[in-house]
Chain A
Amino acid sequence: MVNIFLILYWILTVLILVVSGMIIYHIWIYYLNKTLAILTICLFLSVSGLLFIFNLIIFLKIDWNSLNFVIL
Protein backbone atom coordinates (compact mmCIF):
# COMPACT_ATOMS: atom_id res chain seq x y z
CA MET A 1 0.00 0.00 0.00
CA VAL A 2 1.45 3.31 -1.06
CA ASN A 3 0.45 6.79 0.01
CA ILE A 4 0.55 9.14 -2.97
CA PHE A 5 1.29 12.19 -0.76
CA LEU A 6 4.37 10.45 0.66
CA ILE A 7 5.66 9.66 -2.83
CA LEU A 8 5.03 13.27 -3.90
CA TYR A 9 6.81 14.55 -0.79
CA TRP A 10 9.97 12.55 -1.56
CA ILE A 11 9.92 13.48 -5.27
CA LEU A 12 9.63 17.20 -4.42
CA THR A 13 12.30 16.93 -1.71
CA VAL A 14 14.78 15.32 -4.12
CA LEU A 15 13.93 17.97 -6.75
CA ILE A 16 14.58 20.78 -4.24
CA LEU A 17 17.92 19.25 -3.20
CA VAL A 18 19.04 18.80 -6.83
CA VAL A 19 18.10 22.39 -7.81
CA SER A 20 19.79 23.75 -4.65
CA GLY A 21 22.95 21.80 -5.52
CA MET A 22 22.88 23.24 -9.04
CA ILE A 23 22.50 26.78 -7.71
CA ILE A 24 25.46 26.39 -5.31
CA TYR A 25 27.53 24.79 -8.09
CA HIS A 26 26.89 27.74 -10.40
CA ILE A 27 27.74 30.36 -7.80
CA TRP A 28 30.92 28.54 -6.78
CA ILE A 29 32.20 27.72 -10.28
CA TYR A 30 31.49 31.03 -12.00
CA TYR A 31 32.14 33.55 -9.24
CA LEU A 32 33.96 36.80 -10.05
CA ASN A 33 34.38 37.86 -6.45
CA LYS A 34 35.15 35.07 -3.97
CA THR A 35 33.93 36.92 -0.85
CA LEU A 36 30.61 37.79 -2.45
CA ALA A 37 30.22 34.21 -3.71
CA ILE A 38 30.76 32.80 -0.19
CA LEU A 39 28.30 35.33 1.28
CA THR A 40 25.70 34.47 -1.38
CA ILE A 41 26.08 30.73 -0.75
CA CYS A 42 25.78 31.30 3.03
CA LEU A 43 22.61 33.37 2.56
CA PHE A 44 21.13 30.78 0.21
CA LEU A 45 21.96 27.86 2.50
CA SER A 46 20.65 29.56 5.65
CA VAL A 47 17.29 30.60 4.14
CA SER A 48 16.87 27.31 2.27
CA GLY A 49 17.85 25.35 5.39
CA LEU A 50 15.27 27.21 7.49
CA LEU A 51 12.54 26.64 4.92
CA PHE A 52 13.50 22.99 4.59
CA ILE A 53 13.50 22.40 8.38
CA PHE A 54 10.12 24.11 8.61
CA ASN A 55 8.88 21.86 5.81
CA LEU A 56 10.24 18.76 7.58
CA ILE A 57 8.57 19.72 10.89
CA ILE A 58 5.20 20.02 9.14
CA PHE A 59 5.81 16.70 7.38
CA LEU A 60 6.46 14.98 10.72
CA LYS A 61 3.33 16.55 12.27
CA ILE A 62 1.03 15.04 9.65
CA ASP A 63 -0.93 11.98 10.65
CA TRP A 64 -0.41 10.00 7.46
CA ASN A 65 -2.78 7.20 8.56
CA SER A 66 -5.68 9.67 8.61
CA LEU A 67 -5.10 10.31 4.90
CA ASN A 68 -6.27 6.80 4.00
CA PHE A 69 -8.39 8.14 1.14
CA VAL A 70 -5.25 8.49 -0.93
CA ILE A 71 -3.88 5.01 -0.36
CA LEU A 72 -3.53 3.27 -3.70
Chain B
Amino acid sequence: MSFKKQFNFQNRYENIDFKGKRTDENVILLLRRHWLVFVFRFLPFLLLFIGLAIFHTVGTVIFNFFGLTFDLNLFYLIESFLVIFVWLALFITWINFYLDVWIVTDSRIVDIEQIALFSRHISELKHNKIQDVTSEVQGIIPTLFNYGDVYIQTAGNKQRFVFKQIPGPTNSRNIIMQLQKKAILEEKREEGEILRGKA
Protein backbone atom coordinates (compact mmCIF):
# COMPACT_ATOMS: atom_id res chain seq x y z
CA MET B 1 0.00 0.00 0.00
CA SER B 2 1.41 3.40 -0.96
CA PHE B 3 2.04 6.03 1.68
CA LYS B 4 -0.61 8.30 0.18
CA LYS B 5 -3.31 5.63 0.34
CA GLN B 6 -2.17 4.43 3.75
CA PHE B 7 -2.56 7.89 5.25
CA ASN B 8 -5.56 8.82 3.15
CA PHE B 9 -3.94 11.68 1.19
CA GLN B 10 -6.16 11.25 -1.83
CA ASN B 11 -5.89 13.36 -4.93
CA ARG B 12 -5.98 16.65 -2.97
CA TYR B 13 -2.75 17.97 -4.45
CA GLU B 14 -2.96 16.23 -7.84
CA ASN B 15 -3.19 19.54 -9.73
CA ILE B 16 -0.24 21.01 -7.89
CA ASP B 17 2.72 21.56 -10.16
CA PHE B 18 6.05 23.16 -9.35
CA LYS B 19 9.35 23.55 -11.17
CA GLY B 20 11.51 20.46 -10.78
CA LYS B 21 8.64 18.17 -9.83
CA ARG B 22 9.44 14.62 -10.88
CA THR B 23 6.81 12.57 -12.71
CA ASP B 24 6.79 9.83 -10.06
CA GLU B 25 6.65 12.33 -7.19
CA ASN B 26 3.47 12.74 -5.13
CA VAL B 27 2.69 15.86 -3.13
CA ILE B 28 1.72 14.87 0.42
CA LEU B 29 1.43 18.34 1.98
CA LEU B 30 1.26 21.82 0.55
CA LEU B 31 1.71 24.38 3.29
CA ARG B 32 1.29 28.12 3.32
CA ARG B 33 1.10 30.53 6.22
CA HIS B 34 -2.22 30.47 8.09
CA TRP B 35 -4.97 32.63 6.53
CA LEU B 36 -5.06 34.74 9.69
CA VAL B 37 -1.49 35.88 8.95
CA PHE B 38 -2.73 37.27 5.62
CA VAL B 39 -5.65 38.96 7.42
CA PHE B 40 -3.15 40.69 9.73
CA ARG B 41 -1.13 41.80 6.70
CA PHE B 42 -4.32 42.92 4.94
CA LEU B 43 -5.52 45.11 7.86
CA PRO B 44 -3.14 48.06 7.20
CA PHE B 45 -4.42 48.21 3.61
CA LEU B 46 -8.02 48.21 4.83
CA LEU B 47 -7.15 51.10 7.14
CA LEU B 48 -5.50 52.91 4.21
CA PHE B 49 -8.67 52.46 2.09
CA ILE B 50 -10.78 53.80 4.97
CA GLY B 51 -8.32 56.68 5.37
CA LEU B 52 -8.63 57.49 1.66
CA ALA B 53 -12.43 57.46 1.88
CA ILE B 54 -12.28 59.90 4.84
CA PHE B 55 -9.71 62.02 2.95
CA HIS B 56 -12.09 62.14 -0.04
CA THR B 57 -15.13 63.17 2.02
CA VAL B 58 -13.32 65.72 4.18
CA GLY B 59 -11.45 67.14 1.18
CA THR B 60 -14.63 67.63 -0.85
CA VAL B 61 -16.42 69.27 2.10
CA ILE B 62 -13.51 71.68 2.69
CA PHE B 63 -13.34 72.61 -1.00
CA ASN B 64 -17.09 73.27 -1.14
CA PHE B 65 -17.21 75.08 2.23
CA PHE B 66 -14.45 77.53 1.38
CA GLY B 67 -15.62 77.87 -2.23
CA LEU B 68 -12.13 77.27 -3.59
CA THR B 69 -11.70 77.82 -7.31
CA PHE B 70 -9.12 75.03 -7.48
CA ASP B 71 -10.10 72.27 -9.95
CA LEU B 72 -11.55 69.45 -7.81
CA ASN B 73 -10.73 66.90 -10.53
CA LEU B 74 -7.03 67.31 -9.78
CA PHE B 75 -7.79 66.35 -6.18
CA TYR B 76 -9.74 63.30 -7.42
CA LEU B 77 -6.86 62.36 -9.75
CA ILE B 78 -4.39 62.33 -6.84
CA GLU B 79 -6.88 60.23 -4.86
CA SER B 80 -7.32 57.74 -7.69
CA PHE B 81 -3.52 57.34 -7.96
CA LEU B 82 -3.37 56.66 -4.22
CA VAL B 83 -6.12 54.02 -4.54
CA ILE B 84 -4.23 52.32 -7.41
CA PHE B 85 -0.98 52.26 -5.44
CA VAL B 86 -2.69 50.81 -2.36
CA TRP B 87 -4.31 48.16 -4.60
CA LEU B 88 -0.92 47.26 -6.14
CA ALA B 89 0.73 47.08 -2.71
CA LEU B 90 -2.11 44.83 -1.51
CA PHE B 91 -1.59 42.52 -4.47
CA ILE B 92 2.18 42.36 -3.91
CA THR B 93 1.43 41.34 -0.30
CA TRP B 94 -0.91 38.66 -1.64
CA ILE B 95 1.85 37.39 -4.00
CA ASN B 96 4.34 37.21 -1.12
CA PHE B 97 1.77 35.22 0.87
CA TYR B 98 0.60 32.97 -1.97
CA LEU B 99 4.05 32.14 -3.41
CA ASP B 100 5.64 31.51 -0.01
CA VAL B 101 5.09 27.78 0.15
CA TRP B 102 6.45 24.56 1.66
CA ILE B 103 5.85 21.37 -0.30
CA VAL B 104 6.24 17.95 1.29
CA THR B 105 6.40 15.19 -1.29
CA ASP B 106 6.94 11.46 -0.75
CA SER B 107 10.69 11.88 -1.31
CA ARG B 108 11.68 15.40 -0.23
CA ILE B 109 10.72 18.77 1.23
CA VAL B 110 10.81 21.85 -1.00
CA ASP B 111 10.99 25.26 0.64
CA ILE B 112 9.98 28.10 -1.68
CA GLU B 113 10.30 31.50 -0.09
CA GLN B 114 9.06 34.57 -1.90
CA ILE B 115 10.75 37.39 -0.02
CA ALA B 116 9.68 40.22 -2.36
CA LEU B 117 9.15 40.77 -6.07
CA PHE B 118 12.29 39.43 -7.79
CA SER B 119 13.59 37.92 -4.56
CA ARG B 120 12.93 34.19 -4.35
CA HIS B 121 14.70 31.48 -2.38
CA ILE B 122 14.24 27.76 -3.10
CA SER B 123 15.85 24.88 -1.22
CA GLU B 124 15.10 21.20 -0.83
CA LEU B 125 15.81 18.44 1.63
CA LYS B 126 15.53 14.68 1.27
CA HIS B 127 13.61 12.88 4.02
CA ASN B 128 16.54 10.63 4.96
CA LYS B 129 18.63 13.73 5.81
CA ILE B 130 16.16 14.86 8.48
CA GLN B 131 17.43 14.47 12.03
CA ASP B 132 14.83 16.17 14.15
CA VAL B 133 11.43 17.84 13.67
CA THR B 134 10.06 20.30 16.20
CA SER B 135 6.72 22.11 16.17
CA GLU B 136 6.11 25.30 18.10
CA VAL B 137 2.89 27.19 18.82
CA GLN B 138 3.46 30.42 20.72
CA GLY B 139 0.93 33.04 21.81
CA ILE B 140 -2.80 33.27 22.42
CA ILE B 141 -3.97 33.77 18.82
CA PRO B 142 -1.76 31.00 17.34
CA THR B 143 -2.99 28.62 20.07
CA LEU B 144 -6.65 29.50 19.44
CA PHE B 145 -6.31 29.15 15.66
CA ASN B 146 -3.82 26.28 15.82
CA TYR B 147 -0.96 27.66 13.77
CA GLY B 148 2.76 27.85 14.42
CA ASP B 149 6.25 27.00 13.22
CA VAL B 150 7.84 23.67 12.36
CA TYR B 151 11.63 23.40 12.59
CA ILE B 152 13.40 20.67 10.64
CA GLN B 153 16.96 19.98 11.71
CA THR B 154 19.25 18.39 9.16
CA ALA B 155 22.51 16.53 9.63
CA GLY B 156 25.69 18.56 10.02
CA ASN B 157 25.94 22.29 10.22
CA LYS B 158 23.41 22.92 7.50
CA GLN B 159 20.80 25.57 8.09
CA ARG B 160 17.58 24.16 9.46
CA PHE B 161 14.29 24.40 7.56
CA VAL B 162 11.55 26.51 9.10
CA PHE B 163 7.90 26.26 8.12
CA LYS B 164 6.60 29.59 9.34
CA GLN B 165 3.11 30.15 10.78
CA ILE B 166 1.59 27.08 9.13
CA PRO B 167 -1.81 25.68 10.14
CA GLY B 168 -1.74 22.46 12.20
CA PRO B 169 2.02 22.33 12.94
CA THR B 170 1.75 19.22 15.14
CA ASN B 171 -0.02 17.26 12.42
CA SER B 172 2.55 18.37 9.82
CA ARG B 173 5.38 17.39 12.17
CA ASN B 174 3.86 13.90 12.61
CA ILE B 175 3.55 13.41 8.86
CA ILE B 176 7.16 14.55 8.26
CA MET B 177 8.38 12.22 11.03
CA GLN B 178 6.52 9.28 9.42
CA LEU B 179 8.02 10.14 6.02
CA GLN B 180 11.49 10.36 7.58
CA LYS B 181 11.08 6.93 9.25
CA LYS B 182 9.90 5.44 5.96
CA ALA B 183 12.86 6.97 4.05
CA ILE B 184 15.36 5.62 6.61
CA LEU B 185 13.78 2.14 6.50
CA GLU B 186 13.96 2.14 2.72
CA GLU B 187 17.58 3.26 2.84
CA LYS B 188 18.42 0.43 5.28
CA ARG B 189 16.59 -2.09 3.12
CA GLU B 190 18.53 -0.97 0.05
CA GLU B 191 21.80 -1.22 2.00
CA GLY B 192 20.83 -4.72 3.15
CA GLU B 193 20.12 -5.74 -0.44
CA ILE B 194 23.51 -4.43 -1.54
CA LEU B 195 25.23 -6.36 1.28
CA ARG B 196 23.35 -9.54 0.38
CA GLY B 197 24.37 -9.01 -3.22
CA LYS B 198 20.87 -8.61 -4.59
CA ALA B 199 21.43 -5.22 -6.18
Contact = CB atoms under 8 A, between A and B. Distances in A.
Interface residues of A, number: 31
Give chain B's interface residue range (CB within 8 Å of chain A).
Answer: 20 to 34
A51 B74 contact: no
Contacts of A19: 88, 92
Contacts of B88: 16, 19-20, 23, 48
A5 B114 CA distance: 36
Given A22-B117, A26-B95, A32-B30, A48 B84 contact: yes
A62 B77 contact: yes
B74 A62 contact: yes
Interface of B: 15-18, 30, 71, 73-74, 76-77, 80-81, 83-85, 87-88, 91-92, 94-95, 98-99, 101, 112, 114, 117-118, 120
Q: Which 7 A-B pairs have the closest CB atoms?
A: A55-B80, A62-B73, A58-B77, A61-B73, A58-B76, A51-B84, A19-B88
